[in-house]
Amino acid sequence: MKKSLFFCLFTGLTLSSSAAEKALLAIPDATIYEHKLDSAPGSPWKAAKGKWELVQGVMRGSELPEDKHGAVTRLPNKLQDFIIEFEFKLEGARSISLSINAVKDHMARIAITSKSVTVQRDDNDHEGPDKSVIFARLPADFSPGTWHKVRLEMVGDVMLGQVDDLVAWGSSDLFKTPKMAPGFTVGGQSADFRNLSIREASLNPAWESVKATLPEPGSKVAPGQTKAAAKGKGNGKGKGKKKATE
């Protein structure tokens, strides 16, 4: 009995320690939305572009050539400080992203191709002087048909993006404004998504220590990004205000 109790206590301490070690920018709190994405896409999701369907038990997004725009689907949620996690699998798509909108226009995204992960603040006024800011573009190697995990944390004026073991962060005053309509985008044919969760979050008390172990924003920008990815084409980014919330 004592051995069993000791084992349980030891296991609990190990799990707690492990969870603490994984904390980056944010500490998770109450769940806002959670879904395995294992049913046919429908409410509350709103598909603005492309084809969204259930394929082999997961949600698949595909760009439609006639749209001349990446596939886009979003949730209606208004967010403050949060953590979003999900898994993706490339099934021929040239790019995907997890995109967050501002009240008007875009705010931030994690953009992914088979060879790169880009964490960025988006252009927030496509017809004005504002420009996107790339915090990091990290080389990657995502083979078709393999699942990978994405995590986006936003607290205050800071965002942190993580794809598998690749991590980058950046800050902007724009992030202090209301965050809207989290969603997926797909450029090309096709990509799968599963196991989505959105949780409220608070600042990790150890964030300053964690930040010291991560690359400074702008210090890791790998070459070789395609022009389409750089401009947000196929990632749900429109050319003008009419597409600002897609």
**Region for residue 116 given its phi and psi (left: phi exceeds 0; alpha: psi -120 to 50; beta: otherwise):** beta
Tell me the per-residue pLDDT of 151-197, one tens digit each, with 9 for 90 and over.
999 999 999 999 999 999 999 999 999 999 999 999 999 999 999 99
Taking alpha carbons only, the member of 75, 130, 127, 134 closest to residue 101 is 75
DSSP for 2-50 reads: HHHHHHHHHHHHHHHHHHHHH--SEEEEEEEEEE---S---TT-EEEES
Evaluate if residue 56 carries a pLDDT over 60: yes
* Residue 20 domain-assigned (yes or no): no
* Residue 34 domain-assigned (yes or no): yes
* Residue 1 domain-assigned (yes or no): no
Would you state the pLDDT for residue 10? 37
Tell me the per-residue pLDDT of 130-152, one tens digit each, with 9 for 90 and over.
899 999 999 999 999 999 999 99
Residue 83 near residue 160, CB atoms below 8 Å: no
pTM > 0.75: yes or no = yes
* Residue 150 domain-assigned (yes or no): yes
Mean pLDDT of the chain: 86
* Residue 245 domain-assigned (yes or no): no
Taking alpha carbons only, the member of 17, 54, 52, 72 closest to residue 182 is 72
Identify the sign of the CA torsion 190, 150, 29, 173. negative
* Residue 6 domain-assigned (yes or no): no
Q: Which helix (H) or strand (E) holds 198?
A: strand 179-203
Q: What is the mean pLDDT of residues 30-43?
A: 97
CA end-to-end distance (rounded Å), the chain = 58
- The CATH number of whichever domain residue 228 belongs to comes to 2.60.120.560
Structure tokens at 133: 């800011």
Taking alpha carbons only, the member of 54, 50, 79 closest to residue 193 is 54
Evaluate if residue 118 carries a pLDDT over 70: yes
Taking alpha carbons only, the member of 66, 34, 72 closest to residue 52 is 72
Percentage of the chain beyond pLDDT 90 is: 78
CA distances from 39 to 29, 55, 109 (A): 26, 9, 25
* Residue 87 domain-assigned (yes or no): yes
Structural domain harbouring 137? 28-236
Q: What is the mean pLDDT of residues 60-65?
A: 98
* Residue 218 domain-assigned (yes or no): yes
Task: Give residue for tokens 């349980």.
Answer: 8
- Residue ranges of alpha helices (H) inside the chain are 2-22, 207-211, 227-231
Number of domains in the chain: 1
Q: What is the mean pLDDT of residues 20-24?
A: 72
Taking alpha carbons only, the member of 61, 27, 87 closest to residue 188 is 61
